[in-house]
Amino acid sequence: MTIGIFDSGLGGLTVAKAVMAALPREKIIYFGDTARTPYGNKPPETVAGYALQNAKFLLKKKAQMIVVGCNTASAVSGLALRKEFPSVPIFEVITPAVREALRRTHNGRIGVIGTRTTVQSGAYQKWCRGINARECPLFVPLVEAGRLVHPTTYEVAEQYLAPFQRAQVDTLILGCTHYPWLKGVIADIVGNRVQLVDSAETVAREVQQFITPPASPYLKGRNDQSDSPLKVRGVRGVMSAPKHEFYVSKKTPKFQELAEKWLGMSINLKAARL
């Protein structure tokens, strides 16, 4: 199955990487809306319009399902996307992350960090009453600029995360798919007593379960050989790994550099017109 993933820029690549690891047989078509990034400081109706355009682009490229690899777009466009494309499987990143946080927490004190539009939408708060949500508007620009481990990034992160430490939060949702790029910085500051929930990883598991449902326990042990992520065995023998496609609305050298570093592979980055 061809999986379409979109985001405002680099963030959705965390979702793409997680999906590649979970489903090495499936092709991914990725679109980063770099010409209009960031989404997190824009009005909800504007972001919802962008999401519809992005999904249409991916479907024209023959995507068979859509993963909204952006928490802001997930918060404000989920219903609109499902109404516009009723026959297309659509996954968003918020619900899986909340489920995982509720499963992990020991003291019931859950925090979430996200963009301004995501936090103000109440998308996380409606799932868990009393969830501690905070806006972190500078994280996305820092990631897009490649300042992943930088004194300024640490200084900003300390200011954003201090309230969670005072509130004794034990589980923190990274409520933007850009934020896993800063997971090391965030973990350094909050310490190992706080569990980090990566929304990219949680949505990847849901997509995996949709495409390859768990096998019947009666079949367990009959075929325990796992497929290689580079070559997989099909009906007619060995198939080559899928040829993923990567598009952006505006090409930048920094995107190419960071994308290849994050994914651990060379990519043929193409500019796209919506």
For 29, 32, 204, 239, the CA distances from 209, given in Å and listed in that order, are 19, 25, 9, 22
CA atoms of 54 and 58, how far apart (whole Å): 6
Q: Is 136 noted as a catalytic residue in this protein? A: no
Q: Is 70 noted as a catalytic residue in this protein? A: yes
Under 8 Å between Cβ of 17 and 201: no
> Would you state the structure tokens that stand for residue 260, as one six-digit string?
């290849």
CA atoms of 247 and 62, how far apart (whole Å): 14
Task: Given the residues 29, 110, 156, 176, select the one marked as catalytic.
Answer: 176
Task: Given the residues 5, 51, 70, 161, select the one marked as catalytic.
Answer: 70
For 49, 173, 224, 245, the CA distances from 144, given in Å and listed in that order, are 22, 20, 41, 20
| Residues marked as catalytic | 70, 176
